[in-house]
A and B are shown apart, each in its own frame.
Chain A
Amino acid sequence: MASFSKFGNDLYSGKRSIDFVGRRRLWYAISAVLVLIALVGPWLRGGYEFGIEFRGGSEFTVSQVSSLDQTIATDTVNEVAPGSNPRVSTLGQDSVRVQTDELDKTQTASVQDALATAYDVPVDDVTTSFIGATWGADITTQAIRGLVIFLVLVAIFMAIYFRTWKMAAAALIALLHDLIITAGVYGLTGLEITPAAVIGLLTILGYSLYDTVVVFDKIRENTSNLGERGTQTFGEMVNLAINQTLVRSINTSIVAALPVASILIIGSFVLGASTLRDISLALLIGIIVGTYSTIFVAAPLYVQFREKEAKIVKHDARVTADRKRAAQSSVSA
């Protein structure tokens, strides 16, 4: 891939440069539209679909079936426990999962027997679960608490590491952007929100910031001589840093996304609805959006936060003045 490494060289040297910082209004507008869609879309569609862990109910899994016909399950459950709203899905190649409203012990046992008879499998191959509606609520409460604690800790960590709270603020805004958009994809597509999806969403926290830290570290390095005699404005320094780390960002994102995509594909085609699928889908969206937001949201925001600082205004003014003088001298030369 000589062309890709050539591309990297050009970005590094500044021969080729994509104006991430200068055109920030455009990127902000794109992100604002995406966030708006992610927030309003699910609401227009009729809200999020929550998994059984949040609704509460009973679940039956029939394994080793010879027929994956879902109507058998629907009919059987409707007959044995009328009005229990069965939702049937296939798991892998030889299992059927039935989720119903909450059933009592005797009903559960009779549905279990009926399903075993209907699918012609031993009763042992029909497993039953009962999930209280508070289970999901507990997870959500814990998840939100975890989110808040994490954000506070990571903000402190980044503020100390980068020695400016403005980088932490920009990184956290980008993170929020990622979380909203990922959650929005679930809302828009009507995919069920399961605890596994919540795990995936929480993992984005780590990944999105990982990506941002790599780029911000380079920005910090490029802007460390701010105030010394330089030829670039602050915005240009940051932009060069983004360009220089672009190949790295693309490579790390692809490498991170490959195993996740592999889980997602295996998870959804082979296993059907499963923990693996739910975790990996949220993660895959998160990795893609996270890479985007580091480059197009976090870094430009950082420039915006800082460019009004007296030190930077002074620096930029001097650079502009130097350039004018240089331009005049070269014209005169």
Chain B
Amino acid sequence: MAQSTAVKKAWRTLIWLVVVFGVLIGTIAGGVLWSNATWTPKLALDLEGGTQIILTPKLESGDQVSQEQLDQAVSIIRQRVDASGVSEAEVTTQGGTNVVVSIPGSPDDETLNRIESSAKLDFRAVLLADVAATATTASPSPTVDPNLSTTPTASPTNASDLAWVTPALQAQFDNFDCNSEAADDAGQAPADQPLITCDDNGVKYLLGPVEIEGADIADASSGIATTQNGSSTGQWVVDISFNDAGTKKFADVTTRLYGLTGVQNQFAIVLDGRVITAPTTGGAFTDGKAQISGSFTQESAKTLADQLKFGALPIGFTTQSSEAISATLGSTQLLSGLIAGAIGLLLVIIYSLIQYRVLGTVTIASLVVAAALTYLLVTLMSWRIDFRLSLAGVAGLIVAIGITADSFIVYFERIRDELRDGKVLTSSVQAGWKRAIRTITASDAVNFLAAAVLYVLAIGNVRGFAFTLGLTTIVDIIVVVLFTHPLMTLLAELPFFRDGHKASGLDPRALGAVYRGRAQFRAPAAGVTAAKRGSSSREAVKRQTIAERKAAELAGTSAGITGGSAGKPGTDSTRPTDEGKNS
């Protein structure tokens, strides 16, 4: 019998659902036992509390940042954050231009500075140096005589050539204030032009064009200097080694600088447009190794080594936003979100029960299964792809309650439509399902498309929202196919539903199946289904009567004639169940 195969199939489908759950729970359990998975989803910064820093590339106008540069920057920043001992930090790109650093808890200032300050590292030759003007002479915009020449008198032959220093540049240098905005903007200076900038001790420098870039540094470390016979000098130094290209460049530069005197003997290591150190050149270094000595402490030597090692970013960054999120506020928000979700769920349940009576319990059961599946998937995702649940994500989950419940309504209404057409419940469930699943798949596809587009292009917390929305759309399909439909198939066999108990929500009388004949124009309009073809003789009679009835109706008589057996509405003796047994 057709029904029994449907029932068998329903049981088989339910077993698949159990398998899906088994696999998910098994995977997570395995992850908990042998890896770093947890039974609860990881929370994003806005719920857990922490600091989120968004870095945006400093670009000269018209420049574009490539994905490769961005990926490189992300891995360098990640190394740098990890080196500072912060665990669980998250470094991601955003919208194709920005880098987002999320750090749980509240990191100390040093860590923040390390992330924010370290960016673009250059080696430049020193042309001029001077102790900067003190704050007494600070004027917001130093006035430089615009008539001074800006073109070098002679074309500079190398980066140390004083011909770089034009009268205009000299005047600018003389008036330069280390606290001015110009000093903050130094990081964006073109690489092939001289740069005026300061160091943290208030010394201002006029530097030649960039000679070696940070990317040429292979490694840097800090340590205590030793003399030739191996005894410790007690002085902290920073050792640098260059890669092949860097070795050659460094050899050229040091050879040239060694022959020069005064400040021109110095080269400056410039980080983000600020001089971090400007050591003198004690010889020509051709082996690609150099040691920077000075008045380092253990701390400052390590910081410089880290900056040199991890500071070799392909592009400079500026902090676009830096947001500290309080954990208390986060937990309040999470709690409120969960309360809102619970209330929303309760309202949906109450409404389903009012609208669909006992059938509403199918909605509740399906929502429970959907919730469990979503929870497991979110937990799995937070382990496998490091997904973190944010407040926007929670909102996405709550919104999903309604959208998931919508699929059940579409399905139930389709079953009711079939009942109204006079079918028996078991075949109504199957026929209604065929139509409902089409509609549900199509509308879920649209929803999923929206979520996917949002996710791919998303910025910030839009992404968390899009992720949960997309995930729940998939869960919706899984639950409807693997749970709601088989459950309906099985329930349709129960006398309570089959005989259309008043409280079942599927009472054919309440659904107006008695009006069956009045749905006259629907029979052809709905297309002929397989089930209908089965009762073709009845169908034939029904069709013949349509034109006549239509005529009667147009003439103003409202009395309907039911299909098959004649009778007035409300007195139809053909019970849908009877018809079902015939077919």
The verdict on B97 contacting chain A, using a C-beta distance below 8 Å, is yes
B551 touches A327 (CB 8 A): yes
- How many angstroms from the CA of A125 to the CA of B352 in the assembled complex? 44
A275 and B413 contacting across the interface, CB-CB below 8 Å:
no
Whether A251 lies near B409 (C-beta < 8 A) is yes
Are the CB atoms of B339 and A266 closer together than 8 Å?
Answer: yes
Residues of the B chain whose Cβ atoms lie less than 8 Å from the Cβ of A196? 392, 461
Q: Complex formed: what's the CA distance from A331 to B326 in Å?
A: 81
Q: How many A-B residue pairs have CB under 8 A?
A: 299
- Whether the pair B519, A12 counts as a contact (CB closer than 8 A) is yes
B89 part of interface (Cβ distance < 8 Å): no
In the complex the two chains form, is B524's CB within 8 Å of A225's CB?
A: yes
Q: With a CB–CB cut-off of 8 A, which chain A residues contact B323? A: 59, 129-131
Interface assignment of A289: CB less than 8 Å from any CB of chain B: no
Residues of chain A contacted by B512 (CB below 8 angstroms)? 6, 9-10, 12-13
Closest Cβ–Cβ distance, residue B520 to chain A (whole Å): 8
- Cα–Cα distance between A161 and B409 once the two chains are bound (Å): 22
Cβ–Cβ contact B527 & A225, under 8 A = yes
Flag if B453 contacts A225 (CB, 8 Å): no
Q: Identify which of B131-139, B150-158, B279-287, B439-447 touches chain A.
A: B439-447
What's the least CB distance linking A165 to chain B, in Å?
Answer: 16
A 301-331 binary contact with B (CB < 8 Å = 1; else 0): 0000000000000000000001100110111
The interface bits of chain A over 15-51 (1 if a CB of B lies within 8 angstroms of the residue's CB, else 0) are 1000000000000000000000000000000000000
**Least CB separation from B470: chain A residue:** A206
User: Which residues of A lie under 8 Å from residue B417 when comparing CB positions?
Assistant: 12, 244
Give every chain A residue within 8 A of B328 (Cβ-Cβ): 63-64, 125
Q: Is A153 an interface residue (CB 8 A)?
A: yes
The majority secondary structure among interface residues of chain B is: helix
Are A209 and B333 in contact, CB atoms less than 8 angstroms apart? no
Q: Which residues of B contact A274 (CB under 8 A)?
A: 333, 391
Interface string of B422-461 (1 = CB under 8 A from A): 0000000000000100110011111101110110011111
Q: Would you call B409 and A255 a contact (CB within 8 A)?
A: yes
Q: Which of B370-417 contact A (CB under 8 A)?
A: 391-392, 394-395, 398-399, 401-403, 405-406, 409-410, 413, 416-417
Query: Is the pair B355, A150 in contact by a Cβ cutoff of 8 Å?
Result: no
Hey, what's the 0/1 contact readout for B318-329 against A, CB within 8 Å counting as 1? 011111111011
Interface residues in A69-122 by Cβ distance below 8 A to B read 91-92, 95
Do residues A13 and B450 form an inter-chain contact, with CB atoms below 8 A? no
A209-B554 in contact given A14-B521, A240-B521, A252-B406 (Cβ < 8 Å): no
| B409 pairs with A248, CB closer than 8 A | yes
Could you tell me if A252 and B410 are in contact, using CB atoms closer than 8 angstroms? yes
Q: Answer whether A251 and B355 are a contact pair too, CB < 8 Å, given A214-B410, A258-B347, A280-B395.
A: yes
What is the size category of the interface that chain B forms with chain A? 35 or more
A54 → chain B closest CB, angstroms: 12
In the complex the two chains form, is A276's CB within 8 Å of B321's CB?
A: no
In this assembly, does A293 line the interface, its C-beta being within 8 Å of a C-beta of chain B? no
Do A258 and B351 have beta carbons less than 8 Å apart? Answer: yes
Which residues of B lie under 8 Å from residue A134 when comparing CB positions? Answer: 56, 320
Could you say which of B438, B451, B522, B527 contacts A217, with CB atoms under 8 Å apart? B438
Interface, chain B (partner A; CB < 8 A): 46, 54, 56, 95, 97-98, 106, 319-326, 328-329, 332-333, 336-337, 339-341, 343-345, 347-348, 351-352, 354-355, 391-392, 394-395, 398-399, 401-403, 405-406, 409-410, 413, 416-417, 420, 435, 438-439, 442-447, 449-451, 453-454, 457-462, 465, 469, 510-512, 515, 518-519, 521-522, 524-527, 546-547, 550-552, 554-555
Residues of A within 8 A of B (CB): 1-2, 4-6, 8-10, 12-15, 59, 61, 63-64, 91-92, 95, 124-125, 127-132, 134-135, 138-139, 142-143, 145-146, 149-150, 153-154, 157-158, 161, 195-196, 198-199, 202-203, 205-207, 209-211, 213-214, 217-218, 221-225, 228-232, 237, 240, 244-245, 247-248, 251-252, 254-263, 265-267, 270-271, 274-276, 279-280, 283, 322-323, 326-327, 329-331
